[in-house]
Chains A and B, each alone.
Chain A
């Protein structure tokens, strides 16, 4: 989405976007193919984020994390953006710390970023019960990997996306190219041939 938004606007200048009218920016999002399922809401959140960046971070996103090393503080700052919740704030901090190697401390505060894929894998493999809440999943991930609960995020998400499908999970999969199986198949009580 950022790349396509840049193509349509001709820039990703937070100062310019923060001054755009709601309808003007909404129309950019609506142009087919629409940039998001909820175009008006997403356009509003992007403009709101740009205003916050301009007013609180001198117009530079990296100022969100450049003057602190604490993961909990960076997560709190992301959470302060309109439209951002636990999933995105922990995921962004996870990427900064683990992928981009920004010097961040307190990785124990980087929780798993719960979404539909994470929920499905945790429940199907029996790490939590079927009626578990997102908070239950977050607590379970902390229990499983206290030093860095967010470390479980990407593998679970990927397994949920490729193997642990809602209707017909590909626990064991075979086609003309060969055999494949879910990495958790030997530990999963719901695995089926």
Chain B
């Protein structure tokens, strides 16, 4: 496979992964029993 073909393929992989993340988030959405509590915790000054 030529270098340009490898780079194009890698770009397509990155695009697919980015699309997946846009669609499904980061997987944390269901990780906490109380998201507000977790968010308040990390944002405490």
Contact surface of A with B, Cβ cutoff 8 Å: 3, 60-62, 66, 95-96, 98-100, 102, 125, 127, 144-145, 151-152, 154-159, 183-184, 186-187
Instruction: Report B13-37 residues with CB < 8 Å from chain A CB.
Output: 13-14, 16-21, 24-28, 33
Q: In the assembly, what is the distance between CA of A99 and CA of B43, in Å?
A: 12
Q: Could you tell me how many residues of chain B have their Cβ less than 8 Å away from some Cβ of chain A?
A: 24
What residues on A are CB-neighbors of B14 within 8 Å? 144-145, 152
One of B9, B17, B28, B42 near A155 (C-beta < 8 A): B17
Using A62-B44, A100-B39, A154-B21 as known contacts, say yes or no to A183 and B16 having CB atoms under 8 A apart: yes
Q: A66-B45, A144-B14, A151-B18 are in contact. Are A98 and B9 (CB under 8 A)?
A: no
Instruction: Count A-B pairs with CB separation below 8 Å.
Output: 61
Residues of chain B having any CB pair with chain A under 8 Å: 9-10, 12-14, 16-21, 24-28, 33, 38-39, 41-45
Please, how many angstroms separate the alpha-carbon atoms of A125 and B12 in the complex? 12
Beta-carbon nearest neighbor of B33 in chain A: A3
